Chains A and B, each alone.
Chain A
């Protein structure tokens, strides 16, 4: 359970990128939850999303990184910014920012963090201490095969393992679009 790689041949820049991206993600996460102005929080969240996309690239997941940038940073955050500007937040930025129970929330979250770190310390032996090198394949092609299926040689077609879930996800998006349109109409 402990595959080894030749450490002399390991790339040197990997820890630099990892710690840089991780620090960017965590620091901008802190900025998201502490800023008074909602637009600042949204911009900090965009930085977080892009850092996490960089971490996905380090984990050999280029398709998920692309989906993250296009859908999350390019779609969801733009939607958030539109709504922030529709809902007049200027008055809200002058009021009290944290609610009255904030010490309790902070203590509960610290307990959760302690629980996570305890679980990591106990379960450390279950994880391999080195990452096995990955064979370069076409990650996007394999994911597409799992989602859509593939065309076999003699004119036949085989559904992928996640084709049904893919169709259900598109149905979910349709329902969400309908819900958002109806929710914002003045008269239903």
Chain B
């Protein structure tokens, strides 16, 4: 059996990143788009921690902790925006957020 190396973790992270990108680009429901963004952030975190293990220092792990903090803040504000929007328009579809469209 081939030993598990950094490359294995990078491939998993790339797969999660692409799944998140597909979710952001193709789904109509705003909540699921926000959840796909969380998938992307997790993929980046996995990359950082894998490289931190490869180099043997902690910088990647600390960066990952800050990204988790940032994701929490961004999820809170994004969901606040969603609630405020839903209160006006009664819809959760990205297609119908078109007030600024010409």
Contact = CB atoms under 8 A, between A and B. Distances in A.
Do A and B interact with each other, yes or no?
A: yes
B12 to A, nearest CB: 5
A56 B49 contact: yes
A59 B6 CA distance: 9
B52 A55 contact: no
Nearest to A129: B5
B69 A124 contact: no
Contacts of B20: 29, 33
B46 A55 contact: yes
A55 B15 CA distance: 14
Question: How many B residues touch the partner, as a band?
Answer: 35 or more
A179 B39 CA distance: 23
Contacts, number: 241
A159 interface: no
B31 A99 contact: no
B18 A59 contact: no
B29 A116 contact: no
Given A116-B17, A169-B66, A176-B76, A105 B25 contact: yes
Interface string B8-19: 111110111111
B38 A45 contact: yes
Interface in A140-177: 142-143, 146-147, 162, 165, 169, 172-173, 175-177
Given A61-B52, A176-B76, A99 B83 contact: no
Contacts of B12: 22, 25-26, 55
B21 to A, nearest CB: 5
Chain B interface SS verdict (over half)? helix
A127 interface: yes
A112 B21 CA distance: 9
B35 A120 contact: no
A64 B49 contact: yes
18 contacts: A18-B4, A25-B16, A26-B19, A41-B32, A48-B16, A55-B49, A67-B65, A79-B79, A83-B83, A101-B25, A106-B25, A112-B17, A130-B3, A132-B56, A143-B61, A176-B73, A177-B76, A179-B77
Interface of A: 7, 10, 14-15, 18, 22, 25-26, 29-30, 32-33, 35, 38, 41-42, 45, 48-49, 52, 55-56, 58-61, 63-64, 67-68, 71-72, 75-76, 79-80, 83-84, 86-87, 89, 92, 95-99, 101-102, 104-106, 108-110, 112-113, 116-117, 120, 124, 127-132, 134, 139, 142-143, 146-147, 162, 165, 169, 172-173, 175-177, 179-181, 183-184, 186
Given A116-B17, A183-B84, 16 more contacts: A14-B3, A26-B15, A32-B39, A33-B26, A45-B38, A59-B53, A64-B49, A87-B31, A87-B82, A98-B26, A105-B25, A108-B25, A117-B14, A127-B54, A143-B58, A180-B76
